[in-house]
Structure formats: C-alpha cells, structure tokens
Amino acid sequence: MNYIHIVTIALTGTLLTACMSAQEHRHDVGAGPSTFTLGMVQSSVKKGMPQDQVMAFIGSPNIVTTDEHGNESWVYDKISSEAAHSSSSGGGGLIFFGGQKSAGAYETSQKTLTVMIKFDHQKRVQSLNYHQSKF
C-alpha cells in the first residue's frame, strides 16, 4: 500500500468519527442524572402512606404549606436543562488544497416536574397531583 492510500484511509476514518449529531452530544446540565422522575413518584407514593415514608422515598419537598385545618401540603418542583452541541469540520481532500469547512449545531431544552402531595390530619397521603412539561 502506498503512502497516499494510507493518508486517505486515515483522513476518512478521522472525518467519519468526528461527525456526530447534536443528539449524540446531548448531556444533562448540572451535577448529574436526576432520579426524581414522574414514574418514580407514581410507583413510590400511594394514598394512605405516612409522611416519613414519603420523605424516605422521594426526599425533602421544596415547599411546605398548611391549610386552615393544619393539614400539610408538600410541593416538589424540579427543573432540568439539557444542552447538546455538535460541531464538525470537513474538507477531506480539500485539506491538501488549503481549504476547510466547519459547521455546528446547538440545542437546548428544559423539563419541569411539579408534584403536589396533600396530607390528611393523620399525616398520611390524601392526594397526589402533578404537572410535567418540556420546552
């Protein structure tokens, strides 16, 4: 195999592995993956469950309020952001002629999950409501 063939194969392999889409570069912005999901809440929190079990399963709420009867409501409000960035540069054979092209894509999205749990006078789950959105 001559030198030109080796260089061509090496450049083709490099260009093909360097071209990733924005979706392939996607990552969550923040400390790490969140385990607080709607599915986890729905499978963990059941009507009649005591407050201490709710706390053990899904953690501390963001907001705690009481109604006129002294019954507590807990609100969990979670927001996550995703960012994806992709850049590629090409040129293949154009590198030999001094030319090069570059392109890129950037995509962001946010997800919100709000969970509201109302407790009765015995500090047991009375109701579970939630709202989830992505934009």
The size of the chain, in residues, is 135
Read off the amino acid at residue 39.
G
Contact 74, 61 (CB under 8 A): yes
Q: Quote the pLDDT of residue 98.
A: 56
pTM, two decimals, is: 0.60
In a domain, 49, yes or no: yes
- pLDDT tens profile 9-50: 555 554 444 444 444 444 443 333 457 899 999 999 999 999
113 pLDDT higher than 60: yes
In a domain, 14, yes or no: no
**Domain that residue 124 falls in:** 22-88+102-134
User: What three-state secondary structure class fits 117?
Assistant: strand
Measure CA of the first residue to CA of the last residue in the chain; give whole Å: 53
Mean pLDDT across 71-99:
75
Q: Between these two residues, 69 and 7, which has the higher pLDDT value? A: 69
54 pLDDT higher than 90: yes
What's the structural domain count of the chain?
1
What lies within 8 Å, CB to CB, of 34 at 6+ separation is: 28, 78, 80
Encoding tokens for residue 75?
A: 């609100």
In a domain, 122, yes or no: yes
63 pLDDT higher than 80: yes
Domain CATH number, residue 46: 3.30.1450.10
Encoding tokens for residue 85?
A: 């960035």
In a domain, 26, yes or no: yes
Phi/psi at 65 (5° precision): -130, 160
